[in-house]
Structure 1
């Protein structure tokens, strides 16, 4: 009988630091979000993996007292436009679909992104842009943060109907 090579506890080595839990994350963010007097503003981009609750994140980020906070969702194309883009790649076959050639940035509305960037350009103080594709909206941030969660937690949120695809 063949021995399984399935790794029940996969891991990835990461150079740098990780923080767990809102208290430790916010403590670290307070340090890096401080806007020195010589800077007119500091732009912090918080890129989020699918499944992160944006409302919960916004509530915690508000404690940092940003002068401007933008949720990247407002930069996406409308539902009708996205459905029109993706319709040719949809199929009723549950097993064999079609691969779509899109990048995340393809779902962003160029005019909406431009409008957000203009708001950021004239803002002073702490500016926070958070959500999916936030790093696409603001590719040259002063600070980039990645918010992730365990796959198991994401699966639980899907099963409970708290998030969707």
Structure 2
């Protein structure tokens, strides 16, 4: 409880200036409860959700197909970078939006690709927590597969989504 109160006070005091950008970069699987809480406390004038800069689900599926074998459990580890799945045209559009006047909140997986913000927060999540969420309700990143076989969701997370952590946290030059 102490930590939550301390974090809440920190967020309340952020960006007392008229123009301030808060970037909250998240590990895949962090849910929107955090987003709602930050939005409620920080009270942004403008919000950018980073998942919008990624390719759409069908394109992502096509890009990931070589790494997701027909086997329910086994796959091929993806050694690329997160930005391999980002649409450069959309990214450029959202990077220009990040300089919006007022209190800006950039939130989600890969948010720091858009802009590092005046303050950058990273929300992490243990893999076993992600697996528990897959078992209960959570789909994979940018997918609507919440009813899919749990082992296939875990496989996609393990061989692709979670392997991106090997790359350092992306920081835009903006």
TM-score, structure 1 as length reference:
0.72
Name the residue aligned to 1:34.
16
In the alignment, structure 1 residue 87 sits paired with structure 2 residue 69:
no
CA distance, structure 1, for counterparts of residue 3 and residue 29 of structure 2: 16
Q: Alignment length, in residue pairs? A: 139
TM-score, structure 2 as length reference:
0.69
CA distance, structure 2, for counterparts of residue 100 and residue 149 of structure 1: 20
Q: What secondary structure, in the 3-state scheme, does the structure 1 residue paired with 2:98 have?
A: helix
Q: Which runs of 5+ in 2 are unaligned?
A: 141-156, 158-174
CA deviation string 1:109-142 (max 9, x = no partner): 1111111111122x1121110110011222x321
1:153 aligns with one of 129, 147, 162:
129
CA distance, structure 2, for counterparts of residue 46 and residue 30 of structure 1: 15
Trace 1:114-133 onto structure 2 (pairs within 5 A): 114-121=92-99, 123-133=100-110
* Structure 1 residue ranges, 4+ long, deviating more than 4 angstroms after superposition: none
In the alignment, structure 1 residue 70 sits paired with structure 2 residue 29:
no
Name the residue aligned to 2:80.
102
Name the residue aligned to 2:162.
none
Instruction: Decide which structure has the larger Cα Rg and report it.
Output: 1
Q: What secondary structure, in the 3-state scheme, does the structure 2 residue paired with 1:43 have?
A: strand
RMSD: 2.3
CA deviation string 1:79-99 (max 9, x = no partner): 222122222333124565323
Q: Which runs of 5+ in 1 are unaligned?
A: 1-18
**Aligned-residue offset at 1:151:** 4.5
1:61 aligns with one of 38, 59, 66:
38
